Amino acid sequence: MGNLGPLTIFPNLYRDMPFDVARDLAPITMFAASPLVLVVNNDLPVRSVAELIALAHARLGRLNYGSIGVGTAQHLIFEMFRARDGTAMEHIPYRGNADSLIAIMQSDVHAMFETLPSMLAPIADGKVRPIAVTTPERVPSLPQVPTLKEAGLDLEVTTWYAVIAPARTPESVLATLYAAYTEVSRTADMQRLLAEQGLIYAATTRAEFAARIVAETARWGRIIRERGISV
């Protein structure tokens, strides 16, 4: 199993990667994807993306946002915000989502993007306030929460989980794995399991998945270079 970090972001961040995605790996299929949810702490007087942007401009340099680390999708999407309209918020990277979730629930940080599975319980318990999702359409588990596109931001980001194999794997094996995972993914039980976890089934052919890796690697590379991000 692989995900967008090691396959598309890390090659742009680290000089000494132990593998080359294009040379060493064979993409098989994306298995599931997770929307990111933009949440704010309950003390922040913000109930929409427009209000968050306006407050950030009014309090230049005084708002912050948390992430699970430098160079993660949760960090880079805020850099896209900054590149788009100059929204200046201080980045507070944590060691993982356990620490970042505690921080926003305690109002140590003002805002944060996080995967939907991680945010379902805090949102349901009223510990954070969701104001947007990063998918093109609203997600079934948060039907009241608008998309970034509805908020006037043409940004789409999902974190995804995929099946990969070594590049030397025989073609017949790759085809068998693709067929098996695709068949299982489409069963009612698996669709229900994904939905319960806040995940969506991301159906792709092998060629489409390979093309997505190339496209997303280029997108993340561009924002990393433009914003001068390093680890």
Mean of pLDDT values over 18-22: 94
CA–CA separation, 158 and 173 (whole Å)? 28
pLDDT for residue 208: 95
Q: Which CATH number fits domain 36-133: 3.30.1330.20, 3.30.460.20, 3.40.190.10, 3.40.30.10?
A: 3.40.190.10
Sign of CA dihedral 164, 166, 167, 169: negative
Per-residue pLDDT of 94-122, as tens digits, reads: 998 899 999 999 999 999 999 999 999 99
Tokens of 116: 């939907």
> What CA dihedral angle connects 169, 173, 176 and 181, to 10 degrees?
-40
Sign of CA dihedral 72, 78, 80, 83: negative
Asked if residues 55 and 88 have their Cβ atoms less than 8 Å apart, the reply is no
Per-residue pLDDT of 57-108, as tens digits, reads: 998 889 999 999 999 999 999 998 887 777 789 999 999 889 999 999 999 9
Angle at 170 between CA 164 and CA 173, to 5 degrees: 65
**How does residue 181 score in pLDDT terms, banded at 50, 70 and 90?**
very high
Mean of pLDDT values over 167-172: 97
Mean of pLDDT values over 194-217: 91
Tokens of 214: 């190339």
Supply the pTM of this predicted model: 0.90
What rounded mean pLDDT belongs to the chain? 93
Which of 21-25, 50-54, 180-184, 194-198 bottoms out in mean pLDDT, i.e. has the lowest? Answer: 194-198
Every domain of the chain with CATH number 3.40.190.10 lies at: 36-133
CATH superfamily of 2-14+22-34+157-224: Bordetella uptake gene, domain 1 (3.40.190.150)
